[in-house]
Structure 1
């Protein structure tokens, strides 16, 4: 079983610096292999967008070789405030030396089933054929119900074992139509990192990390990789015996 590494920081600045350092070191290790290698990272939305935008901008790496995927995405137009891609486009383009072409995006004009299949085809360009995709890094969030990506407690997608990217048309959290990476992909990643900040996360963090409830976020257990939780003091306030960094 992959051990959980839990790191608690006294503020989001220190957390952001650590997150950026971890990602840049991992990226540079991957890219130092040379050739046509690219660094493949999966993104989540929410507060982590601003955190990544601010602190990744301060690291040195070959940005042209980063490729940004989405751990899940809402099936809405790119001018919709619910679009995760739009959040990154608005905060990354112009702040980091990256282009829109480096983001592997959904086609929001397709049906949710077609959009999931289309995203699989787009992903397959960057991974070895006939192999389960292995992301270098996945940035994950956790909802108040313990969901991560668009994998919600009790939903049938939590039992998916073969499809890389699955459609969901009955998301308990709006908007209802989304696509999401599935557990086979999450658990094949090299590095999974959960980022949680603020007191509103304290209860679910306790349920996951202290009480060890069987929730989707607790099912992220890379078979040949690592999983880390980066928390600020407010999110970690119901945990015991954690030392702030």
Structure 2
């Protein structure tokens, strides 16, 4: 029987950040117990800033502290631009999170794109898939890599990663990483995790805040049409493994039940 995603809505940013931190730390601790490594895929947008705010808060104990030395960070999608380009998700994550980790803390292992393939996004996607293969074991022994945590955003059209509504890429079932040559949102050339990978995480977290998100959240959670959008498809495939972190401005008018605590 299909399970429903978790929708959390908070009245103030502090509560959202605290709960997002608890969600990430819980995923980390469970992962380290399982296999002593924490594999995370992250997207761009407003996520890196909020993620940085959440994770750089002072912990109260070892169990409440990021063990960054055991983190492996991958990108759920990336733009075919240099790593220091203003459109680069890696630059965003670096500036908003990685560069702010205190000197006395360990640093995560991060896997950016190989920029020598900027002019060949098919090859860039293939190379990034090989990077995943190395971390997740041999390609023929793992049908779909299962990240310990995937952190995503939701576009105003319901896109997630760089999977856009109506794209034929949504039908891909084999590849782990896909090239995009004509993204409807610039820049046009990108790579993205495929839908099976993006919906296969042990835990999946979405960040969607502000009044600008209320129409799309209403559609995703309350309408049949919204279930077919990329974010809606992740909800459908992953069910209770998905948790949405939103605020009251974004959930205004949404009928789907929300909670204010984990």
Give distance in 1, aligned partners of 2:183 and 2:81.
Answer: 14
Matches within 5 A, 1:89-100: 89-96=94-101, 97-99=105-107
Query: 1:52-89 CA distances to partner (integer Å, 9 max, x unpaired)?
Result: 11111124132100011111001101121100001111
Residue 254 of structure 2 is matched in structure 1 by 239
Partner of 2:128: 119
Q: CA deviation at 1:91?
A: 2.0
Task: Assess if the C-alpha contact under 8 Å between 1:188 and 1:224 holds in 2.
Answer: no
Deviates more, 1:164-173 or 1:127-136: 127-136
Q: Are the structure 2 counterparts of residues 189 and 242 from structure 1 closer, same or farther at C-alpha, using a change threshold of 3 Å? A: closer
Give 2:175's aligned residue: 163
Paired position in structure 1 for 2:111: 104
Per-residue deviation, 1:2: 3.4
Q: Which of 218, 243, 247 is 1:206 aligned to?
A: 218
1:84 is matched with: 89
TM-score, L = length of structure 1: 0.93
Contact 1:202 / 1:236 at 8 angstroms: preserved in 2?
Answer: yes
1:194 correspondence with 2:209: no
1:216 to 202, 218, 230: 230
| Partners of 1:242 and 1:162 in 2: CA distance | 34
Structure 1 CA distance for aligned equivalents of residues 180 and 106 of structure 2: 30
Question: Unaligned regions of 5+ residues in structure 1, if any?
Answer: none
Q: SS in structure 2 opposite 1:32?
A: helix
2:72 alignment counterpart: 67
1:180 positional shift: 0.3
Which deviates more, 168-177 or 127-136? Answer: 127-136
| Residue deviations 1:97-132 (CA, integer Å, cap 9, x gap) | 454x71111112301011100101111111132202
Report the counterpart of residue 55 of structure 1 in structure 2.
54
Aligned match of 1:226: 241
> Is the 1:2–1:222 Cα contact (8 Å) retained in structure 2?
no
TM superposition outliers: structure 1 runs of 4+ over 3 Å: 221-225, 240-245
* Deviation by residue 1:144-196 (Cα, 9 ceiling, x = unmatched): 11111111011110110100000001100000000000111122210111110
Mapped partners of 1:239, 1:225: distance in 2 = 18
Q: For the Cα contact (< 8 Å) 2:204–2:241, is it kept in 1?
A: yes
Provide structure 2 residue ranges, at least 5 long, that are not aligned to the other structure: 60-64
User: What is the count of residue pairs matched by the alignment?
Assistant: 242
Normalised by the length of structure 2, the TM-score is: 0.87
- Whole-angstrom CA distance in 1 between matches of 2:134 and 2:100: 27
Distance change in 2, residues 1:222/1:38 (3 Å): farther
In the alignment, the residues of structure 2 paired with residue 98 and residue 81 of structure 1 have an alpha-carbon distance, to the nearest angstrom, of 26
